[in-house]
Amino acid sequence: VVTISDVARAAQVSKKTVSRVINNHPDVADTTRAHVQQVIDQLGYRPSMLARGLAQGKTNIVGVIIDETAQDVFSYPLYNETLRGIASVLDANDLDMLVRFSRDETSYVELYLQRRVDGLILLSMPLNDKRLEALLDSDAPCVLTQRVSEQDTPLAWVDADFESGGMAAAQHLIELGHRRIAFVISPTTKAYVHFLLRGYRTILDHHQIAIPDDFVVTSEPYVSVSEAVIAAMMQQPKPPTAFAVSDDMKAIQLIQLMQGLGHAVPGDVSVIGSDDALIARYASPPLTTIQQDAYHRGHLAAEVLVSQLNAGQSRQQHQELLPTQLIVRGSTGPVRSG
Amino acid sequence: VVTISDVARAAQVSKKTVSRVINNHPDVADTTRAHVQQVIDQLGYRPSMLARGLAQGKTNIVGVIIDETAQDVFSYPLYNETLRGIASVLDANDLDMLVRFSRDETSYVELYLQRRVDGLILLSMPLNDKRLEALLDSDAPCVLTQRVSEQDTPLAWVDADFESGGMAAAQHLIELGHRRIAFVISPTTKAYVHFLLRGYRTILDHHQIAIPDDFVVTSEPYVSVSEAVIAAMMQQPKPPTAFAVSDDMKAIQLIQLMQGLGHAVPGDVSVIGSDDALIARYASPPLTTIQQDAYHRGHLAAEVLVSQLNAGQSRQQHQELLPTQLIVRGSTGPVRSG
DNA sequence: TTGAAAGCGCTAACAG
DNA sequence: CTGTTAGCGCTTTCAA
């Protein structure tokens, strides 16, 4: 491999001059620069980022942590978009992206402490993650793409406002005449489902509509909706006329399950999702859902991190709630009269 | 930040001894090791991967290149699975993953030449990519997850056998009585669509079924299926009775388009996809498609790369074709009699 | 079993 | 405008 010393020797200049050339430092005579550049090209020299990183004390790499196990990532197609949003910003700032899917034993801060990355973006951390303490103890620049607690956390985050989304959705269902609304909420380890539920609750409370305990089905992360549970619920004397589901994939499963059980959607029962994943449009009936802009979320989070990195200052408190929007499609309709 | 020297000083030993401890080198007295370890814990010392990398001449990072623009990644959900497969292997080998989405100007080999990564895994490279030459000129350890040419390439790859898949699909359609089969093939920049088409052709040729030129619709990467083109095709005196589509997303779009045009699927026209993306199951009718195991593909590719890295030898010629399987669901049926 | 010294390839002061 | 001298934090000879 050819090093900066090789170039310096061949070009009869000092290493520092070569360094100046490759870093586009202005204080170099044009002729010198041209000459050095020529030698660089001829030798096929590439600066070692490893060495540069050591000398400068930074890696120019950002760690992106995705705390999901295999199936979960598949069922949650929005990570792609968030990653994309992040990538666009990092690209523009000549930063690279080190992606790590969750490894339980080790805390993700290690990535920073071991100087593998300059900062972290955490996608989809579970609620009240224990490893978070290590993060807070460190001075790692860091941005979350999702809140990790219903309380305030001294960390920067950019999150989608699913509480408002839930409110809009509840409003929509109420306007359609629904009064018996059930919930499929999962995974309860993620903060957003709680905000979502809270949004629904706020509106329902306001209309003095109670949510019976057995109308709230929760499940482990991304486990399928239980047919038995739903079937039982629908056989009650007063079954739900609408279901609010915490993600589109599950909402679509629920629709198919309903259809299998002989309940028309939205004729007998309305279903409303959350996310507006691509799949929502292709479901039949197309899914009414709460839209979020995952790309934008990633984009913003990355921008916040980059500004932290550039400022060099310790943690910033940037916290931002992105709007969500109710997208009404065919899976919700007026409650059947009678 | 606390360095190895700090530890050495505090523990009253040499740097080398500390180094031996953190690397679990056997030649250290137990008492010394215990003592050093204690100092390490107390000081909260973490070895700098940057410095270690420079000293050892390797990064322990693998570069993963995804040559897709924004929308494309979204419409091709299998990347998630491939990434997952890769991650599982890298994890097991204490390697990290640097992900880069395509940046046209720069060749991805740069990642290696600049010593940012020890090797590369290329997902979804376009056919006959010019940047490939630079790769071949280098000695970068590298594995493709998809062939980049219909000819043989002196690079390791792990690909899905869509040619056989196409053959199985053609066989299926013929058994259902279809003779007028049309194709929606996209993007033509990817090798797999050509293998797929070749598979169909082989079987159709064998049955002396011609494919009229205007029965093959190609389109730019991931552009939607053109309604006008399809409508025109269906108004011919002898319209196709079946469509073979090169990915599931497009197949589902086509189904919806057909339904909008008043053609029942599979009553009037059968549609067959490719990939077996999650969405295929949720389409209505559920999509008949050619299944591949994207996770396994990533897993294998990463294993090949890791063995290259460990061998330290120059490029290996591992080339492997993974089986595909026809999954028959509801979108294909017997040709309408009359 | 341990240590001293040299070096990985680059940048950062500070001179000149 | 250019070069010299030190490091960055670790690993690797080679001795002891």
- Name the residue among A135, A192, A193, A203 with its Cα closest to residue A169: A203
Cα gap A299→B99, rounded to integer Å = 16
Distance B136 CA to D2 C1' (A): 38
Query: CB of residue B23 closer than 7 A to nucleic acid strand D?
Result: yes
- CA-based nearest residue to A284, from B281, B88, B187: B281
Asked whether residue A75 carries a pLDDT value surpassing 70, the answer given is no
Cross-chain Cβ contact A80/B73 below 8 Å: yes
Give A-chain residues touching B245 at CB under 8 angstroms: none
Q: Are B290 and B169 spatial neighbours (Cβ–Cβ below 8 Å)?
A: yes
Q: How much is the pLDDT for A70?
A: 56
- Determine what percent of chain A falls in helix, strand and coil, rounding each to the nearest 5: 45, 15, 40
Query: Cis omega before residue B285 (within 30°)?
Result: yes
Name the residue of chain A whose CA is nearest to B116's CA. Answer: A49
Of A173-182, B199-208, B215-224, the poorest mean pLDDT is in B215-224
- State how far the Cα of B242 lies from the Cα of A224, in Å rounded to an integer: 33
Band (B73; pLDDT cuts 50, 70, 90) = low
Check CB contact of A248 with chain B, cutoff 8 Å. Answer: no
Amino acid at A204: L
Distance in angstroms (rounded) separating the CA atoms of residues B65 and B120: 7
Sign of the CA dihedral B64, B65, B71, B75? negative
C1'-nearest nucleotide to the CA of B45: D9
DSSP codes, A116-147: S-SEEEEESPPTT-TTHHHHHHS---EEESS-
Q: What is the pLDDT of residue B130?
A: 86
Q: How many Cβ atoms sit within 10 Å of the Cβ of residue B228?
A: 7
Instruction: Identify from B59, B74, B124 which residue to disrupt to test chain A contact, counting A C-beta atoms within 10 A and taking the largest count.
Output: B74
pLDDT, residue B78, reads: 73
Min distance A64 CA to chain B CA atoms (Å): 10
Q: Residue B69: pLDDT band by 50, 70, 90 thresholds?
A: low
Q: Is the CB of A57 under 7 A from strand D?
A: yes
Minimal Cβ distance to B59: which of A50, A70, A97 = A50
Contact criterion met (CB < 8 Å) for B282 and A100:
no
Name the band, by pLDDT with cuts 50, 70 and 90, for residue A129: confident
Question: What pTM does this model have?
Answer: 0.93
Residue nearest to nucleotide C4 (CA to C1'): B14
Q: What confidence tens digit (pLDDT) does each residue in A174-196 have?
A: 999 999 999 999 888 889 999 99
- DSSP character at residue B225: P
Show residues of chain A in contact with B98, CB under 8 Å: 61, 96-99
> What integer pLDDT is reported at residue A338 of this predicted model?
54
- Between B294-311 and B78-92, two packed helices, what is the crossing angle to 10 degrees? 30
> Taking 70 as the threshold, does the pLDDT of residue B74 lie above it?
no
**What CA dihedral angle connects A133, A139, A140 and A146, to 10 degrees?**
50
B81 — pLDDT class (breaks 50, 70, 90): confident
- Which nucleotide does the CA of A55 lie closest to, via C1'? D8
Interface test with A, best of B59, B65, B79, B80 (most A CBs within 10 A): B80
Interface check A43 vs B, CB under 8 A: no
- Tell me which residues have their CB below 7 A from strand C: A 1, 3-5, 15-16, 19, 22-23, 45-48, 50-52, 54-56; B 12-17, 20, 26-29, 31-33, 51, 54-55, 57
- Give mean pLDDT, residues B198-224: 90
Nearest CA among A328, A74, A184, A258 for reference residue B280: A74
C-alpha of A78 from chain center? 7
Residue B330 confidence class, pLDDT cut points 50, 70, 90: very high
Query: CA-to-CA distance for B169 and B128, rounded, in angstroms?
Result: 27
CA angle B284, B287, B291 (to 5 degrees): 150
